[in-house]
Structure formats: structure tokens, C-alpha cells
Amino acid sequence: MTEAMFGTGNDQWVCPNDRQLALRAKLQTGWSVHTFCTDRQRKSQMLEQQEMENILSVIRRAEELEQIEQLRIGRLVERLDNMRKSVLGNGRSQCLLCGEVLGLLGTPSVFCQDCCKKVCTKCGIEPQSSQKRTQWLCKICSEHREVTSTLGTLDFSLLYDQENNALHCTINKAKGLKPMDHNGLSDPYVKLHLLPGASKANKLRTKTLRNTLNPIWSETLTYYGITDEDMVRKTLRISVCDEDKFRHNEFIGETRIPLKKLKPNQTKNFYNCLEKQLPVKAARAVSLHGSLEERGRIMISLKYSSQKSGLVVGIVRCAHLAAMDANGFSDPYVKTYLKPDENKKSKHKTAVKKKTLNPEFNEEFFYEIKYADLSKKTLEVTVWDYDIGKSNDFIGGVSLGISANGERLKHWFDCLKNKDKKIERWHTLTNELPGTTFND
């Protein structure tokens, strides 16, 4: 598409094409009115072919090393399982692994300090130690130490569905988890957080499996409202915990995956060692719009109807809203305004959805307005928590218009450039809008 010019004389401004807007969104910038020198600047800042090849080579090498490490861990766990299945002795009068007879008339033996079983010297390993007294491990316990030195392993896969703005995380299984209970086992479950922005609203978790160190979940958890912008800057934190009925649940281990490692619409498999709990930065969930706190996502549809001479605004659904009530939920509804609104008649409101952080509204509102006047308007969309007997709580809001940036600006321009076409986009809700005071 070519650039469209609006206005006359010194007040001209440019409506850029889709590719330029996508690039601006990734760079976290708006669209400047001073656009006449962008081509020259772009050419002067372009990387040379050799530089691009060097960068791509480094990225490919890093991905290869990561894949090699995951395969190594997988082989290590598989080898450990095979060794456990193929034991031939009783560990007392016979070597635990090969079954050879031990004793004065038999093969010399050593005592494994971890499993307290006897093995022959061929099946035993003397680990490096600063202690004067020699200590031995059987090959099984030596392998087990290497695997469990990172608290166990987790097998999972990730898929970014770009068309539906969804991130699917399939938790397959874990192996060699650290025992957390008195019976030498654990009651493990997996929970997910998106960082930055970890909160109850964006936490997902699997079911709990009882009395096992090698759980198999085969469960898929899905985040909705995930944008290309999120895939560049967000990290998925996957934690494995032990559930306790009579006290606080215990942390076992975690792994973190920067979402920029994923390619759209391609499933990527992971076999990661769990690590100790990493510190979460104390900063609040920060969005691209400054230091504003993210409060969830909202899907909005826009269409300018030539037949009706007006703007049709659709409130489709919200996802991962901030919890405002003591029960951990909210009773959300949505309000829309088309500003400036001198007569204060542009307010529309959806129905209230009870006790949910992921409401579906599927409601549309109509604003009668000339097409030429749309470039002067700003659509404000706010989400509220309904309370009986007291003031309703503001959850979050978003503004669409020519003064916005990133995906919010692109959505508005797409509506201007495509009459009679419904265009849906996910947008991030923030705890405030610049220059706006909210009153329900």
C-alpha cells in the first residue's frame, strides 16, 4: 500500500502503510508528522548484508547449542531409566547393577552412600571430594545426581497462534523431581506466569498429581490476547510446585522462556532442567506506554459503515483482567466514549458479567459520524468492576486514535483505510490513560 496524505498545506500528515506501522510498533514508537526524510534515514541506518549474515549466524548457533543441550538432558534421563530397569542384583550379597556375587570369595564391593546398596568396583564411581575418607556412588545414583542437580526436568511445548492471538503451553511430563514430602515423594503441579505483569489474573495452572516424582500431565494451558508486541518483550515463567493440604505449597523449581524465541504458528519442544527460584524484579508490570501498569487485555472491533454513515464499535471479550473483589474475581463491564464529546452523548455501556476475569460480551455500539471527522476523534474504552452499594472500581482502559501509537494507532488507521470492513484487535488495558480522570 502507498502512503495516504491527509490535510492541506503545513498541516499535512501521513497515514503510513501496514509494513511501516508494524515496524514502528516493534520499535515502540508512534508515527511522527515529520515523515519526509524517513526514506533517507532508513537507507543510512540499514545493516549491510555481511552484518546481517553475521547476526543470523550467531542466532542459529545459539539455537543449535540449545537444542544439543536439550537432547543431552533427554538422553541422560532415558539412560537413567534404562539403568534402573536393568538392575540384576539385590545390592546385599550381589552387585546391584551387574549381579555378580560379592564377599570374601567373590568380587570386591563398595557401599553407595546415596542408596546404601552394595556394588562391585566396576559398577561404582568414586566422585571427586575434598574429604579424606573415600566415598562411592553406584552408577545409578551418580547419574541421578547429575539429573537432579537442577531439581528435575520438565518436558513441555509452546505454540504461538498468531491469527488467534493465543499462546498454547502443553505441559507433558516431568522427571526426577526433588522429593518434598515425608514419604520421599511429591504432589506436583505446574503454574504459569507471564513476565512482566505476573498477577493472579494471568496465572494458569495444571491439575495436581499425587505421590510421584515423575508426573505425566499432558495438559494444555492457553493465554488469549497475546500480541506480536508481547512476543518480543514477554517471558513465560513455568514453575513446578508441591501441593500441601495443611500448609503452604512448596516451590520445587522453575524455567523461563523468552517468547521471542518462538516462531509464529510453529510448535517448539523443550526439555529443560528446573532451576532454583530466580528473583522477580520488584518493578510493577510495565507496558510500552510509559510506567503504566497492565490490567488485562480487551478485544475491540472497528468498522466504518458507509451505508449508515457511522462508526460501529464492537466489544468482543476481555482476558486476564485484574481481580478487584475479595473473592479473587471481578464483575466487569465496559464503557465507550468517542471524544471530544461536547454534548456528552457518546457514552455506551455493556452488560455486567459476574465473577469472571475473562468475560465475553459480543456487543456492538453505533456512533453516527462523518468519515472525514474520524481523524479528529479518539475512542476511549474503559473496563469497570461493578459493586453494589459503593463506587464501581476502575480496572483499566485504552485509547484509540491518531494520537495513539503502536497497535492502537495501527488499528485506528486500518479502520480509516478499510471502509465497511470489520477489523478486530487485542489491546492492553492500563491503570490510567494520559490526561484522563475516570469517574463512573
Q: What's the Cα-to-Cα distance from 160 to each of 168, 296, 312, rounded to whole Å?
A: 6, 19, 30
Q: Is 23 helix (H, G, I), strand (E, B) or coil?
A: helix
User: Tens of pLDDT along 41-87?
Assistant: 555 566 788 888 888 888 788 777 766 766 776 777 778 778 888 88
Q: Which position has the higher pLDDT, 237 or 25?
A: 237
Please report the pLDDT score of residue 199 as a whole number.
59
User: Quick one: pLDDT at residue 59?
Assistant: 77
In 3-state terms the chain splits into helix, strand, coil percentages (rounded to 5) of 20, 35, 45
Per residue in 390-400, pLDDT (tens digit) is: 888 899 999 99
DSSP state of 72: H
Query: Taking Cα atoms as reference points, which of 274, 292, 172 lies closest to residue 220?
Result: 172
Distance between CA atoms of residues 347 and 360, nearest Å:
20
Locus of grid cell 494520559 = 434
Q: CA gyration radius for the chain?
A: 29
In 10 A of CB 354, how many CB atoms? 11
Please say if the pLDDT value at position 315 is more than 90. Answer: yes
Query: Cis omega (within 30 of 0) on the bond before 264?
Result: no
Q: Provide the grid cell at 299.
A: 478485544
Which phi and psi angles does 241 have, rounded to 5°?
Answer: -130, 160
pLDDT score of 188? 95
Q: In this prediction, what percent of the chain has a pLDDT beyond 90?
A: 32
Dmax over CA atoms of the chain, in Å, equals 105
* Single-letter residue type at 333: Y
How many Cβ atoms sit within 10 Å of the Cβ of residue 439?
Answer: 6
Instruction: Using alpha carbons, list the distances in angstroms from residue 118 to 37, 95, 121, 432.
Output: 79, 6, 10, 67
Place of cell 481481580: 323
Q: How far apart are CA 271 and CA 229, in angstroms?
A: 26
Task: Kindly report the pTM of this predicted structure.
Answer: 0.55
- Looking up cell 509452546 gives 158
Pairing of strands 109-111, 13-15: unpaired
Interval 67-80: pLDDT, tens: 676 677 677 777 87
Please, what is the average pLDDT of the chain? 81
pLDDT, greater one: 342 or 92: 92
What pLDDT, on a 0 to 100 scale, did the predictor assign at position 333? Answer: 96
> Own/partner pairs for 27-30, CB < 8 Å, 24+ apart?
28/288, 28/406, 29/405, 30/404, 30/405, 30/406, 30/409
Which span out of 113-127, 263-277, 285-299, 413-427 was modeled with the highest average pLDDT? 413-427
Phi, psi of 231 (to 5 degrees): -65, -20
Residue range 184-203: average pLDDT? Answer: 80
Which one, of 328, 326, 392, lies nearest residue 357 by Cα?
Answer: 328
User: Using 50, 70 and 90 to split pLDDT, how confident is the model at 9?
Assistant: low
Q: Which three cell numbers stand for residue 203?
A: 496465572
**What Å distances lie between residue 51 and 23, 55, 58, CA to CA?**
20, 6, 11
pLDDT at 128: 66
Average pLDDT over residues 224-235: 86
Find out whether 118 and 185 touch, Cβ atoms under 8 Å: no
Detail the DSSP E strand segments found in 320-359.
332-339, 348-349
> Of 345, 333, 340, which is closest to residue 380 (Cα–Cα)?
340
Residues 155-179: what's their mean pLDDT? 91
Range list of β-strands (E), 356-435: 360-368, 378-385, 393-401, 423-430
Decide if 112 contacts 136 (C-beta within 8 A).
yes
